Amino acid sequence: MTSNTTQSPARSTWLGWLVLAAFLLGACCALRLSDPMFGLDVELKDMPILPLVAGYCFVSLAAVFALPRLIKSSDRYDGKYLLIFIVSAGLLMRLLQLGAAPVLEDDYNRYLWDGAVTVSGQSPYTLSPQAAAGDDGQSAALSKLRRQAGPVFDEINYPEYRTVYPPVAQAAFALAHLVTPFSLDAWREVLFALELAALGFLIAILKRLGRSPLWCALYWWNPVVIKELANSAHMEPALILPLMAGVWLALVARPVWASGLLAVAAGVKLWPLLLGAAIFRRLLDDWKTLGAAMGLAGLLLVLFAWPILQAGFGDDSGFVAYAQKWQASSAAFLVAEWFANMVPGGLLQGVESGFVARALLVIALAGTIAFIVQKKARDGRETVHQMFLIAAALYLLSPSQFPWYFVWIAPFLCLFPVRGLMLAGALLPLHYLYFHFAARDLEDTYRHGIVWLMWLPVWAVLAVDMVRARTAMSQLSEERYAS
């Protein structure tokens, strides 16, 4: 009688995992089969964007709702076989995207081109693709690559700008080119390998924190992660691997090597540098270790920055263009822009409101980071928590809120499952409605309507949870005082 009672919930839990896995695998198959409807020969206005976004949001919301409940109900059972199932099913979800054309994304063309340029022994920072398409002597060495690239070269987005991707990212691009030149699936295979290694670190971190390793499913089965990395082939796994390795080292009290890994992650995209504030703050009482940590990070950053600095910053610099112009799906930017427009014109004569809005967001982020690290972390767990809070603040205050940017914080949510941020991941598919409105010359409708629809629920949930947390802390303090 007792045996049946204890085994029944376990069977029920397994059934839930199997149903969710089948549901997500079905969604992955549907995404894989939908690529002809989003091909290069299909006009944007004729693409089924509304059904795509509706299905993408539905699947994401279902996963966000179901996964934490399944994980919590599975904690009391032996999770070894369940973890193997989670990893295997998630890998299958990714492998299903092999051979598919990315839906509404084309960044991968730049990756493949940059990898070819690097393997050829040239610098991708020297010439923009547009300049490389010229016939002058400077670009003659790239003519063979252009012919080999074929449609990859023709479909590079923003060809007027030199690459915006730092050297560690370029190394990943080059590796894919060495596997198979100009092959999207070769690039995907590199991404799968990097992401699988990052998952190993994430599971190790969960175990170190005393959390069930099943929480990795919040990342590994996340529909946004699968669509943006496996289907759209965005480069984030090249960042997530050194980032998770750095988090692991910070957790086990290896701050020097953790700082070095954060610098490697910054060699993919610059923002992981900010997480170093949590590590350096903890080392203020240990100047020797602090000097070693900052020295290693600084040395690596100089090495990574050198080819970029050598190429120089001009009007065709991707780094300059990104810093000055890129803005997408960010309600925080709209708020900052509103404040910028409130400033009397005489005070900021000749200064664009977009520049002022970015400056305000930078100031807000700097103040938030200072607030987060004002108190020294007592142990590795608190250090990692501070790193998570910094990454979340950056994500929420970024002028650009592309869906694949959610991957920056998705692994941290396995450690600290904040409801508002999980909801953000489920609503980010609304970003793709931009293409529906842009095809009808209704960009302002998207910018001042859909963006708020995307972010107001997130901010509301975050605000409610903050109030609840403060109330709980106040009650705890009162109880301690009374006792």
Task: For Cα atoms 385, 389, 391, give the angle at the middle one, nearest 5 degrees.
Answer: 115
Closest CA to 399 of 319, 324, 332: 332
CA separation, residue 449 to residues 102, 358, 401, 427 (Å): 26, 21, 15, 14
The residue-averaged pLDDT of 391-408 equals 94
pLDDT more than 70, % of the chain: 91
Position 276 scores a pLDDT of 95
pLDDT of 347 strictly over 80: no
For 94-154, the three-class secondary structure string (H helix, E strand, C coil) is HHCCCCCCCCCCCCHHHHHHHHHHHHCCCCCCCCCHHHHCCCCHHHHHHHHHHHHHCHHHH
pLDDT of 79 strictly over 90: no
Indicate the Cα dihedral angle 91, 93, 97, 98, nearest 10°. 30
Radius of gyration for the alpha carbons in the chain, expressed in angstroms and rounded: 23
Position 480 scores a pLDDT of 54
This prediction has a pTM of 0.92
Position 5 scores a pLDDT of 42
Q: What's the CA gap between 322 and 325, in Å, rounded?
A: 6
The residue-averaged pLDDT of 468-472 equals 73
Q: What's the CA gap between 392 and 405, in Å, rounded?
A: 11
Position 340 scores a pLDDT of 84
Position 203 scores a pLDDT of 96
Categorize the per-residue pLDDT at 478 as very low, low, confident or very high, splitting at 50, 70 and 90. low
Q: How many CB atoms lie within 10 A of CB 475?
A: 10
Position 322 scores a pLDDT of 87
Position 328 scores a pLDDT of 87
pLDDT of 2 strictly over 70: no
The residue-averaged pLDDT of 114-121 equals 93
pLDDT more than 90, % of the chain: 74
Q: How many CB atoms lie within 10 A of CB 208?
A: 16
Position 146 scores a pLDDT of 87
pLDDT of 373 strictly over 70: yes
* Tokens describing residue 105: 């994304």
Position 318 scores a pLDDT of 87
Average pLDDT, the chain: 89
Burial label for 163, CB within 10 Å (0-12, 13-18, 19+), is: buried
pLDDT of 23 strictly over 80: yes
CA separation, residue 387 to residues 222, 255, 279, 332, 461 (Å): 21, 13, 8, 21, 21
pLDDT of 359 strictly over 50: yes
The residue-averaged pLDDT of 253-276 equals 95
Position 475 scores a pLDDT of 60
pLDDT of 346 strictly over 80: no
Closest CA to 246 of 214, 293, 290, 292: 293
pLDDT tens readout for residues 51-69 = 999 999 999 999 999 999 9
Pick from 70-84, 95-109, 269-283: least confident? 70-84
Per-domain residue ranges of the chain:
2-482
Which conformational region is residue 121 in: left (phi greater than 0), alpha (psi within -120 to 50 degrees), or beta?
A: left
pLDDT tens readout for residues 276-295 = 999 999 999 999 999 999 99
Position 345 scores a pLDDT of 58
The residue-averaged pLDDT of 264-276 equals 95
**Are the C-beta atoms of residues 303 and 115 closer than 8 Å to each other?**
no
Position 143 scores a pLDDT of 81
* Tokens describing residue 186: 């070769």
pLDDT tens readout for residues 240-262 = 999 999 999 999 989 999 999 99
The residue-averaged pLDDT of 155-180 equals 94
Contact partners, residue 477, CB within 8 Å, separation at least 6: none
Position 316 scores a pLDDT of 87
CA separation, residue 284 to residues 272, 280, 361, 377 (Å): 20, 7, 27, 11
Beta bridge partners of 328: 400
